Amino acid sequence: MSVVRETEKPKVSLLYDPKVRSIAYQLGLCAIIAFLVYSAATNAINNLAKANIASGFGFWNTTAGFDISQTLIEYSTVSTYGRAFWVGLLNTLLVAAIGIVLATILGFVVGVLRLSKNFLISRLAAGYVELIRNLPLLLQLLFWYNAVLKALPELRDSLAIPGGAFLNNRGLFVPQPVATSGFTAVWIAFFAGIVGSIVFRNWARKRQEQTGQQAPVFLVSLGCIIGLPLLVFFLAGMPLELSFPEKGRFNIRGGVEILPEFAALLFGLVLYTAAFIAEAVRAGIQAVSHGQTEAAYSLGLRAQPTLRLVVIPQAMRVIIPPLTNQYLNLTKNSSLAVAIGYPDLVQVFTGTVLNQTGQAVEVVAVTMAVYLTISLGTSAVMNWYNRRIALVER
């Protein structure tokens, strides 16, 4: 070993050995970071002690003492801070989940319309995308909330919407479906329908591989998933009642109340994210070369199967990564709820709980941990899906 070194490598001083240098740099960097973390921690401990603020998660089980306007789980003023955290988190997830579904639908529609041969509709779609993408989301949310929803009539002049719903500046009140006895059968039929359609699809695929005959998978699945529960629903004697909202003098009783904050946040998020999704969809479809469509036509495929079997699967490959990003952005942007007072995680936890307890480090750390988990979890799932549909190269 030492012989080799003497003959092949000139002796370098330690100062000029790249390996030694690299290790020294890294040690130096780690030392600086460690020093920063250490001084930040000692400062924090000193400052907290001076301000008489407790540390640790003892506050988690103390009574919160404030009310929240929208709760998906049971919550009252005597509930704990921990409970308030879960209420906020569920509200965030609710608006994110509904927002993602609606934004995907709107985004795909607008993206396809933007590529339409129809001059008017493609200009309209382009105008929508340009306008929305160049305005800050916060401005849009404030506009929808303060200028549109808050400008709706007062309670006593509520707009009555046909079908028993009311709209006023306190929100949208819609009839609430209440399941009576026998409704479980409909659920059972629904799940049976899903299982049935999966079984049928597998059977149809196998048969097509063996014999080449095709089966109407879409129609049969539709019948199983929607038709079967409907049939059971009518057979069981329609076990569903609608609880209509009734307008009193000072409030509205019964029905489901959709808060204006929720509506404004959802509306703003969906319109904003859909514009970005539309761009991703347009880019994805344009990335599939025209030769693919022509080749499919020359093989005898019609327009619809060409789209379904040739264009969309290839476009999806390009669309999925930016689409994932947009889903994450929507979830993160839902934290703007704090500006219009929708009780999401940031508003409830980083807002009210932080103000009441003063435990900034713990509260901000927990909030960040939640968003990080959501982000990393979503990207893990989408990466898995992306790998599954990615091009398999030999």
Partner 1 sequence: MAVTDTEAFEARKAADIAFVQSATQEPLPPPMSHSGAVGWLRENLISGPMNIALTILSILLIAWIAPPVIKFLFVDAVWSGTDRDACIVTAERPHVGACWAFVRDRFSYFIYGSYPVDQRWRVDIFFGMLAVGIFWLAWLRAPRRDIGSIYFFVVLPIVSFILLSGLPLIGLPKVDTNYWGGILVSIVVAAVGIVFSLPIGVLLALGRRSDMPAVRLLSVIFIEFVRGVPLITVLFMASVMLPLFVPESWSPDKLLRALVGVAMFSAAYMAEVVRAGLQAISKGQYEGAQAVGLSYWQMMRLIVLPQALRITIPNIVNNYISLFKDTTLVFIVGIFDLLKTIEAARIDPKWAAPSTSPTGYAFAAIFYFTCCYLMSRYARQTEARLEKSHRR
User: Which residue from 368, 381, 389, 390 is in contact with partner 1, where contact means CB under 8 A?
Assistant: 368
Residue with Cβ nearer partner 1 (251 or 286): 286
Task: Please check whether residue 115 is in contact with residue 286, taking contact to mean a CB–CB distance below 8 angstroms.
Answer: yes
Stretch that binds partner 1, among 79-87, 125-133, 250-258, 380-388 (CB under 8 A): 125-133
Residues near 295 by Cβ (< 8 Å), separated by ≥ 6?
Answer: 310
User: Which residue from 17, 35, 38, 47 is in contact with partner 1, where contact means CB under 8 A?
Assistant: 47
- SS3 of residue 151 by DSSP: coil
User: Which residue from 124, 152, 230, 316 is in contact with partner 1, where contact means CB under 8 A?
Assistant: 124
Q: DSSP states of 250-272 as a string?
A: S-EESSEEE-HHHHHHHHHHHHH
Stretch that binds partner 1, among 75-83, 118-126, 217-225, 291-299 (CB under 8 A): 118-126
CA dihedral 185, 186, 191, 195 (to 10 degrees): 90
The reply on whether position 151 binds partner 1 by CB under 8 A is yes
C-alpha count within 13 angstroms, C-beta hemisphere, residue 22: 3
Instruction: Please give the structure tokens belonging to residue 29.
Output: 């960097």
Residues near 104 by Cβ (< 8 Å), separated by ≥ 6?
Answer: 277, 323
Contacts of partner 1 in 13-32 (CB under 8 A):
22, 25-26, 29-30
Residues near 244 by Cβ (< 8 Å), separated by ≥ 6?
Answer: 164, 175, 254, 255
x/- contact string, 324-343, with partner 1 (CB under 8 A)? Answer: --------xx-xx-xx----
How remote is the C-alpha of 345 from its chain's centroid?
14
The reply on whether position 117 binds partner 1 by CB under 8 A is yes
The reply on whether position 307 binds partner 1 by CB under 8 A is no
User: Which residue from 12, 20, 34, 40 is in contact with partner 1, where contact means CB under 8 A?
Assistant: 40
The reply on whether position 364 binds partner 1 by CB under 8 A is yes
How remote is the C-alpha of 45 from its chain's centroid?
37
The reply on whether position 178 binds partner 1 by CB under 8 A is no
The reply on whether position 126 binds partner 1 by CB under 8 A is no
The reply on whether position 313 binds partner 1 by CB under 8 A is no
The reply on whether position 354 binds partner 1 by CB under 8 A is yes
As a whole number of angstroms, the distance between CA 364 and CA 331 comes to: 17
The vertex-192 CA angle with 187 and 195, nearest 5°, equals: 130
The reply on whether position 146 binds partner 1 by CB under 8 A is yes
As a whole number of angstroms, the distance between CA 62 and CA 84 comes to: 11
Instruction: Output the furthest CA–CA distance in the chain (Å, rounded).
Output: 99
Comparing C-alpha atoms, which of 331, 321, 318, 316 is closest to residue 379? 321
Residue with Cβ nearer partner 1 (109 or 252): 109
User: Which residue from 189, 266, 310, 346 is in contact with partner 1, where contact means CB under 8 A?
Assistant: 346
**Torsion sign (Cα): 369, 370, 374, 380:** positive
Stretch that binds partner 1, among 65-73, 134-142, 170-178, 186-194 (CB under 8 A): 134-142
Residue with Cβ nearer partner 1 (136 or 248): 136
Comparing C-alpha atoms, which of 85, 40, 88, 81 is closest to residue 361? 40
Helix axes 81-114, 260-287, angle to 10 degrees: 40
Task: Report which secondary-structure segment, H or E, holds 173.
Answer: strand 171-174
The reply on whether position 301 binds partner 1 by CB under 8 A is no
As a whole number of angstroms, the distance between CA 128 and CA 360 comes to: 40
The reply on whether position 375 binds partner 1 by CB under 8 A is yes
User: Which residue from 2, 134, 298, 304 is in contact with partner 1, where contact means CB under 8 A?
Assistant: 134
User: Which residue from 371, 382, 383, 386 is in contact with partner 1, where contact means CB under 8 A?
Assistant: 371
How remote is the C-alpha of 133 from its chain's centroid?
18
Residue with Cβ nearer partner 1 (87 or 345): 345
The reply on whether position 188 binds partner 1 by CB under 8 A is no
Residue with Cβ nearer partner 1 (186 or 330): 330
Contacts of partner 1 in 55-94 (CB under 8 A):
none
Q: How many residues bind partner 1 (CB under 8 A)?
A: 53
Binding residues vs partner 1 (CB under 8 A): 22, 25-26, 29-30, 33, 40, 43-44, 46-48, 50, 113, 116-121, 124, 130-131, 133-139, 142-143, 146-147, 151, 332-333, 335-336, 338-339, 346, 350, 354, 360-361, 364, 367-368, 371-372, 375-376
